[in-house]
Amino acid sequence: MKMRRIQLERGQRLTEDLLQRSGGIDAGIETVAADIIADVRARGDKALHDYTERFDGAKLEDLRVSNEELSTLFDKADTALVQALSNCADRIRDFHERQVQQSWYATPRKGVLVGQQVTPIQRVGIYVPGGRADYPSTVLMNVIPAVVAGVPEIAVVVPPDTEGSIVTSTLLACRIAGVDEIYKVGGAQAIAALAYGTESISAVDKITGPGNAYVAAAKKLVQGTVGIDMIAGPSEVLVLADKTANPRYVAIDLMAQAEHDPLAACYLVTTDASLADKVELELDELLRQSKRADITRESLENHGVVLLCEAMDDAVAASNFIAPEHLEVLTHDPHALLGDITNAGAIFLGPWTPESIGDYSAGPNHTLPTQGTARFSSPLRVDDFVKSSSVLSYSADALMAEADDVTAVADIEGLWAHAEAVRLRVADINEDMSNEQ
């Protein structure tokens, strides 16, 4: 198993030309998504039924998962799975409860009240991949922070299988996370329904959750009509390693991302060329055991990169340039490097912290910025499900104290009414004071 290698000289900066990172949404996919969105806006539920039959092979009577389907879930569910999902949900909830912001108010000057009022978004739609796939962790990671934020209405959309059903584990995760408004619809059509509403699905204020390229394109197109979390690209991992790293751990952690998608990007950034050789040997052996070997191999061969650096500070600089979704630090003293890491969606320190633990159990959100957007974006969090309003209240004396500042700036900007709104009030205050005397 050979991955593409890049050798950086001491102090040499990594560039996009060297990296050859693929990205962006294909224009043809965006055109198809736009057509689907327009059709759903025009035909509503009828379009959703037609697309579900066309793309998912399911002919549905009702789009919404019935109470009967939900009420029998736990009767037929594997108890070990229920316990595992519940345990993960508890840890995710605990982490996100620590993120909650409170409204605050202050009186910085006499007669002045200012503050910030934090309000939950009223209605949120969450996209969960489905069909043949099974991603209960996506449910937990998106629903729980919304619930913690206090969002009163949460709607989940999931593509059904050919029988018109949603896999039990996904439904279980919905119930455990605290949502029972679930619809059997996926793809760009589901995003359109959430953004604009249909007869069965009420429009939402924000959409979160990952999906395929058509889902990503649809989210891009409806952004502005509704809020979105991010336009996610293929999954990616970067392993930052020195000679002390276990090559088998490095190999399996690269594979853990590669098995997601043939387009997944996997980077090994190391100061030790012999480690890279050992990792490639381990990949050969582990690929023979993988049930998703074809997908994994295609990802590693086409989008796998070994970046060889002369020193660790160069390796860290290269990692910061790539700004990976997942960053694993497998070095002699990983915690010592934490302060130098500026761009990463999630940072996994040490040999006993594989990316897998973050996907499911640790608590931090696994919905992360991809394709270098960790330079300016953050993981999904409680803040994504609230909005804040500034609060201001002035007494007459406080307005008088700041009137000259306001009118001076307003006059410079040529905004007469802005200044006059203050001058009129100041005149009335002065008149009242004169009458009182």
Report, as residue numbers or ranges, the catalytic residues: 325-326
Q: Please check whether residue 183 is in contact with residue 65, taking contact to mean a CB–CB distance below 8 angstroms.
A: yes
Instruction: Give start and end residues of each alpha helix (H) in 230-354.
Output: 247-258, 273-287, 293-303, 312-322
- 31 vs 369: CA distance, rounded Å: 24
Residue type, 223: Q
* CA nearest neighbour of 171 among 80, 67, 88: 67
Q: Please check whether residue 56 is in contact with residue 161, taking contact to mean a CB–CB distance below 8 angstroms.
A: yes
Place of tokens 């490639």: 280
Handedness of CA 157, 159, 163, 166 (dihedral sign): negative
- 7 vs 272: CA distance, rounded Å: 11
DSSP state of 14: P
Q: Which tokens go with 14?
A: 């990594």
Residues in the chain: 437
Phi, psi of 158 (to 5 degrees): -140, 130
Give, to the nearest 10 degrees, the angle between helix 213-222 and helix 27-43: 60
Q: Please check whether residue 37 is in contact with residue 191, taking contact to mean a CB–CB distance below 8 angstroms.
A: yes
DSSP state of 308: E
Q: Residues of 300-336 as b/e, b for ≥16 C-beta within 10 angstroms?
A: beebbbbbbbeebebbbbbbbbbbbbbbbbbbeebee
Q: Please check whether residue 262 is in contact with residue 228, taking contact to mean a CB–CB distance below 8 angstroms.
A: no
Place of tokens 């519940």: 86
For residue 86, the SS3 value is helix
Taking CA atoms, 61 is separated from 42, 50, 127, 411, in Å, by 20, 12, 21, 64
For residue 113, the SS3 value is strand
Phi, psi of 128 (to 5 degrees): -125, 120
Look at strands 265-270 and 112-120 and give their pairing: unpaired
Q: Residues of 253-263 as b/e, b for ≥16 C-beta within 10 angstroms?
A: bbbbbbbbbbb
